[in-house]
Structure 1
Amino acid sequence: MAKTFTDEDDALLAELGVEVETKPAAARTAREERIIAGFEEIQRFVDNHGRAPRHGEEGDIFERLYAVRLDRLREQADCRQLCLPLDHQGLFDAGSANLAGIEEDLDDDALLAELGVEANMPAITDLRHVRSSAERKAAEDIANREACADFATFEPLFEQVQRDLDNGMRETRPFELKAEIEPGRFFIVGGQKAYVAEKGELTLTDQGRTDARLRVIFDNGTESNMLMRSLQRALNKDDAGRRITDPVAGPLFSGEAATDDQASGTIYVLRSKSDHPMVAANRDLVHKIGVTSNDVQQRIKGARLQTTFLMADVELVATYKLYNISRSKLETLIHRIFGAVRLDVQIQDRFGRPVVPEEWFMVPFFVIDEAVEKIKDGTITRYVYDPQKASLVERGAG
């Protein structure tokens, strides 16, 4: 009878200088390699999302495919035996398969059809990769997400947005400009609603373009710390990518205060005295539009020492008093209207560091004044600024 050596025997023989012949591990079949590769994709999903993939319409197609794939692996004994040693996340501890209403006697094409996938894709039992490397790279711009710990704070916002869409207070429009990506904005990308909760400091890419780190919350309870240009690329690549408009509002403020009105602040319009070539060549067009709760003269004091004022003195062109409204929301609204003509110039601060100031726009003052009047009467949401005509035009006109 052949002798079976233990680990202690091997160590003893090694001390004696005797080599122990070991049998090489049996090579896996192509099918086994595909099964393991498919299971590893599920494991990466769990690493990124902190949970197993789920069935249901709220998940994207890849999560739903992973969920079905995991069910199939659980219910097939040979697959369980192959993947169980690799299961450091306890995915096989979840019990037997649960196809969540999908009939077990469906063939692969019918199963894919239930999930909304073209039937000419590889069969699920083959467990091939369902995305090409190019498709996966495009999806990674928005797919590197994690669970949103404070999603309870944002969930009511998504619910309100859906109500606004249902009753016509909001609508969806094709995404057009990077300038539309601002805190407080909603988008549809990859079939999910996305909310820009935070936007970091603007930086410059190697190509001299502006970018910023965002905190984006998705309506499935995940979030991503992505770059603004990554979200822009994802929206541009997605044929169904949309911008959800701001809600149609009634009158936001009036020029006169009623008895019980509470002062909210002031819109101010400035013209720069900077000698920057771009500013100097378009001095009558370049305006800063801001909102402040402080005295405007106090706000612009020492402008030449502040990057937000282009490190130069400014001329106060106009002010408009606000009552009973959110200053930040109004400022966001104004900047959305003129986002297409935001001035994109780089200056240096007092320490020689490059800065791209915000709130400066290449727009005639009379258009700003007209926009404020339309904000007052609540009709501004029907208009966009047309740089070619240098005027406000009704959405969809022309």
Structure 2
Amino acid sequence: MAELSDLELLAELGVDTAPEPVRTLTPLQERIIAGFEDIQRFVKENGRLPQHGEDRDIFERLYAVRLERLRALPEARELLANLDSEGILDAAEPVGRVSSELDDSALLAELGIEQDADDDITKLRHVSSRAEKRAAEEIANREKCEDFEEFRPLFEGIEADLKGGLRQTKPLGNSEVTLAEIQPGNFFIVGGQLAYVAASTDAFTTQYERADRRVRIIYDNATEATVLSRSFQKSLYRDESARRVSEQSAGPLFGDTAEPDDLESGTIYVLRSKSSHPYIDEHRELIHKIGVTGQPVASRIANARNDPTFLLADVEIVDQYRLYNINRTKLERLIHRALGPARLDLSAGDRFGKTVQPREWFFAPLSIISELISRISDGTITQYVYDPVRAEFVAQDDA
């Protein structure tokens, strides 16, 4: 089959990738809500409704005018009904209005805003959208990450993986990042910075009756922010250069049979040595060479007895996995990295008398190798590390 996209790979794994239904608001509705949120903030901070009067702050007077307009608009009342938990729209009218008060245009002029001749303040054109406010708040809410040294190795590891080809950055394009992706352990690039989702609260329901969580985001410039996951989702959407950072593997990588349009990439091979070396002879059932080749395995091992990589001895093929549409080099690096703790320190001489240390031999039972291939295939290998003492894969949190 043809190479699958990320969403198609997730779908193949049975992961629900359908985006959560989002309530669609018109630009006018967005501005009405944003304008009302300004009034709510004023009431919360001052314990009273905004009032008219020359002795009042210019913003308070603007909020008072805005509140009158919102009360007079049936469509605004209907839109704000579920948001008006304080009963602002039905509270007593603002008092203190005097005949010499500034009119709407004069209020806007004092705020440094020029009003068009055909402008209508009921449309709230001069209210910043919630998206604009949240974009500014997101930057303002960042603070120094006091425990950044704990996260530095993670960032350095990601950068090494990217350089080594074990991970990739993928542009978001038209595919929206789901809330399920914004979870601890995942990396993104936003605003030109590498961002790590370090922690998350339990889910809760917002005033808009949508599920959300608060997440702690650590940035590679040693700053951090605690924001709603939906807010971080929107910051990714707004940034045209935002990218996902892939896991070390993503989705099904290989299978037993090929579809008509699959491109064969090669084979993972698992070998046992027939060497007469005492240590190998004693542990022969547990010592395996694991590699990836683009040629027939039989051809790859034909000259094993003369090749230090094969310990200058014939080998036995104990397992093979066919690969389709896979980058062999990257896959082999992933396999060797996952089994790194079980790598054997072996050496053999080449035909020129030089000592060679093969890097593809591991002290791991065949069942562990099978589990490794399975975890690479389903994408869970990044959640586990191999414990050579216990001879099993353990969750990273338990390692």
Greater CA radius of gyration, 1 or 2? 2
TM-score in same-fold range (> 0.5): no
TM-score normalised per structure 2: 0.40
TM-score normalised per structure 1: 0.40
Instruction: Return the structure number with greater relative CO, CA threshold 8 A, min gap 6.
Output: 2
